[in-house]
Amino acid sequence: PGRVREVIKLNGPDIYRSTTVTREVYTIRGTVRQGNSGGPMINRQGQVLGVVFGAAVDDVDTGFVLTAQEVARQMAKVGNVARVPTGTCISAG
């Protein structure tokens, strides 16, 4: 469980660390662990409020969540894309 502290505009590197981007995010009070990234933050009614993407390096009780509006803006930029096959599952052993 966690709670939203505030909604902010956060500047940080893009995924390739080639430029700085500004994102609308929730800062949350709660623990974000490795592996939480990409998971939803939901409210008590089951609505998705955003997508977890990181934790503060200087405060173990602070995490960052892209707002649903930010995710929607980014998805609108992508537009329609073609489906790709997932391929055949293979055994690791």
Residue 3 has pLDDT above 90, yes or no: yes
Residue 91 lies in a domain: no
pLDDT (0 to 100) of residue 93: 66
Number of domains in the chain: 1
Per-residue pLDDT band at 15 (split at 50, 70, 90): confident
Per-residue pLDDT band at 11 (split at 50, 70, 90): very high
45: containing domain: 3-78
Strand partners, 90: none
**Distances 66 to 6, 19, 82 between C-alpha atoms, Å:** 12, 18, 25
Residue 21 lies in a domain: yes
What is the CATH classification number for the domain harbouring 66?
A: 2.40.10.10
Q: Where are the alpha helices (DSSP H) in the chain?
A: 68-78
User: At residue 41, what is the residue type?
Assistant: M
Residue 83 lies in a domain: no
Residue 89 lies in a domain: no
Residue 65 lies in a domain: yes
Task: Name the strand (E) or helix (H) holding 75.
Answer: helix 68-78
Determine the Cα–Cα distance for residues 33 and 61; give it in Å rounded to an integer. 10
Determine the Cα–Cα distance for residues 50 and 42; give it in Å rounded to an integer. 7
What does the pLDDT look like over 28-63, one tens digit per residue?
A: 999 999 999 999 999 999 999 999 999 999 999 999
Residue 90 has pLDDT above 90, yes or no: no
Structure tokens of 78? 């992508």
Mean pLDDT taken over the chain: 92
pLDDT (0 to 100) of residue 49: 97
